[in-house]
Amino acid sequence: MSFAGRVAIAGIGATEFSKDSGRTPLQLALECVKAALDDAGLTPADVDGLATFTMEENEEIAVQRFLGIDHLTFFGRVHYGGGAACGTVQQAALAVSSGIADVVVCYRAFNERSGRRFGRAQPSPGAVEAPTNWYVPFGLATPAAWVAMFARRYMHLYGATSEDFGRVAVADRKHAATNPAAWFHDQPITLAEHQASRWICEPLHLLDCCQESDGGVALVVTSLERARDLAKPPAVVRGAAQGTARHQEMMTSYYREEIGGLPEMGVVARQLWRQSGLRPADCQTAVLYDHFTPFVLVQLEELGFCAPGEARDFIAGGRIELGGELPINTHGGQLGEAYIHGMNGIAEAVRQIRGTAANPVPDVENVVVTAGTGVPTSGLVLSRDAR
Amino acid sequence: MARPPRPTRDRDSAFFWEGIEAGELRVQRCRACNALRHPPGPMCPGCHSLDWDWIVSSGRGEVFSFVVHHHPPIPGLDPPCVIALVEIEEGTRLVANVARIAPEDVSVGLPVEVEFHRIEGDDGWVVPRWVPRA
């Protein structure tokens, strides 16, 4: 694999995370891209590539124009929303390693709370689009509902409970409580509070569901060789993979023989471990996409941290909390920090490798990061520079 | 109560909705290898034939998974209400609303059968929905 180990994330940047940014999505994009370049010690004049993913309002050429970037030789937009967060880094890594571009910035910026809200019924009534035609006319119309259908089957198959899902929320909010950048800073929750939170779509409680957030996050990708000469220690891209699986749909892959897993994440995981030469036990922390808590359990299984159906035992006893064997989502995840479609999780992995996270895990060498689940997805393995 | 969104149809799916209007639950069948498939589409993923027709299902099945919707408000839903993924006797699955049973009485494996429910209005339409089977 030509890019693995030869490309790095050299800069990260973000706006504040809020419920009402008070400015346009384009301004959020420009702010976070500029911040990521500042972090790397680069300027817009160094950028020749931009990568983002669908459901992004900000055109690559608008970002280019207002940053005063002279020209781009690479621009790519990966499909399937949050599932593509890590896919942007793969696009950038492919472009950099093949010589198409030198510096590619990946970005996501939106007013997802004060503008178009993601948790609402989709699409708006009266305009059912073909891919959702078998669900929306029956009221199965929200991301929470689409995931709840998988979650119920998972509970039936393996005996998992709502409390098991709640332990993910408790861990995320515990980590957010000590992360000043998190929306839910200083607001931990108990499992009892999770259980008492109102139903959104059974078996999902309110506290199983991520936030809707305003904000932006950007990542600067360049060659490892160049990154070594920049301002911050590189986070080496050891693995970057995308995946779909048989009978793939967008949030509604209900026609597979069994639906207790996320086989597209298995496709991603096998590539990540093969590219990196690593295995789950080599990762000191993980950032697992948490738009809804049940899929965090399934991801632990698909990534190989435990066997199918065993995640509820794996996460027991605080194993996924700070101080446990595998702390996950140390920034607070998308339940606790913000829902920037996974890009804030990639930034957290970089901070863990640099040792600059608000909740640092000791001696981090490798971090596995995943993107949106229930959809065509992607993942990364980021590592400390061995030099 | 507001009506739910109207289903769309195209050349690949019109037979299904025409069946619903005729009181039949139709399942697409490959004419080359006889495999059934839902949701419908132009090509058999098994043998790649473009030649297809349909069978009429018994309309009986079991709940494979289900949700109980509470929030946010959805046009046409009166929460709490059940939406189920049902595996029919012929082996394919179909999502639809569940009626005539309290949400707390629904479970995976519940035997159900289809009924055809008219959405009111001069320009109303018919949708399948699941009801408990005796």
pLDDT at A124: 47
Number of domains forming the structure of chain A: 1
- pLDDT category, A2, cuts 50, 70, 90? confident
CA distance A197 to chain B (A): 12
Full residue range of the structural domain in which residue B27 is found:
8-56
Q: Which of A128, A133, A201 sits opposite B67 (nearest CB)?
A: A201
- Name every chain B residue with its beta carbon within 8 A of the beta carbon of A153: 64-65, 85, 108
> Searching chain B, which residue's CA lies closest to the CA of residue A117?
B72
CATH number, domain containing residue B82: 2.40.50.840
CA distance A343 to chain B (A): 26
Number of domains forming the structure of chain B: 2
Asked if the structure places residue B100 within a domain, the reply is yes
Instruction: Tell me what the mean pLDDT of segment B12-37 comes to.
Output: 98
> Is pLDDT above 50 for A71?
yes
Q: Do B72 and A153 touch (CB under 8 A)?
A: no
**In the A/B pair of chains, how many CB contacts fall below 8 A?**
111
- pLDDT by residue (tens digit) across B60-110? 999 999 999 999 999 889 999 999 999 999 999 999 999 999 999 999 999
Q: Are residues B84 and B52 in the same domain?
A: no
Any catalytic annotation for residue A289?
yes
CA distance B134 to chain A (A): 23
> Searching chain A, which residue's CA lies closest to the CA of residue B65?
A153
Q: How far is CA A363 from each of CA A194, A339, A353, A367, B51, rounded to the nearest angstrom?
A: 32, 27, 9, 11, 60
| SS3 state of residue A201 | strand
Q: Do A254 and B7 touch (CB under 8 A)?
A: no
Q: Tell me phi and psi for residue B111, to 5 degrees.
A: -75, 130
Q: Are residues B39 and B66 in the same domain?
A: no
- pLDDT category, A50, cuts 50, 70, 90? very high
- pLDDT category, A95, cuts 50, 70, 90? very high
Asked if the structure places residue A205 within a domain, the reply is no
> Is pLDDT above 60 for A1?
no
Q: Do A259 and B65 touch (CB under 8 A)?
A: yes
Asked if the structure places residue A203 within a domain, the reply is no
Any catalytic annotation for residue A107?
no
Q: Are residues B124 and B72 in the same domain?
A: yes
Q: Are residues B67 and B124 in the same domain?
A: yes
Asked if the structure places residue B67 within a domain, the reply is yes
CA distance A99 to B36: 47
Q: Which of B68, B74, B127 sits opposite A141 (nearest CB)?
A: B74
Q: Among A107, A154, A158, A289, which one carries the catalytic annotation?
A: A289
CATH number, domain containing residue A95: 3.40.47.10
Q: Are residues B46 and B81 in the same domain?
A: no
- pLDDT category, A123, cuts 50, 70, 90? low
Of A305, A320, A307, nearest to A361 by C-alpha is A320
- pLDDT by residue (tens digit) across A293-352? 999 999 999 999 999 999 999 999 999 999 999 999 999 999 999 999 999 999 999 999
Instruction: Tell me what the mean pLDDT of segment A197-212 comes to.
Output: 97
pLDDT at A129: 66
pLDDT at A138: 95
pLDDT at A125: 45
> Is pLDDT above 80 for B9?
yes
Q: Are residues B42 and B12 in the same domain?
A: yes
Asked if the structure places residue B2 within a domain, the reply is no
Q: Is A287 exposed, middle or buried (0-12, 13-18, 19+ CB in 10 A)?
A: buried
Q: Do B67 and A202 touch (CB under 8 A)?
A: yes
Q: Are residues B66 and B40 in the same domain?
A: no
- pLDDT by residue (tens digit) across A240-289? 999 999 999 999 999 999 999 999 999 999 999 999 999 999 999 999 99
A7, A221 Cβ separation under 8 angstroms: yes
Q: Which of A133, A149, A199 sits opposite B8 (nearest CB)?
A: A133
CA distance B113 to chain A (A): 16
Q: Do A149 and B5 touch (CB under 8 A)?
A: no
Asked if the structure places residue A166 within a domain, the reply is no
Q: Do B69 and A201 touch (CB under 8 A)?
A: yes
pLDDT at A122: 62
A90, A242 Cβ separation under 8 angstroms: yes
Q: Do B13 and A133 touch (CB under 8 A)?
A: yes
Average pLDDT over chain A reads 96
Which amino acid would we find at residue A226? R
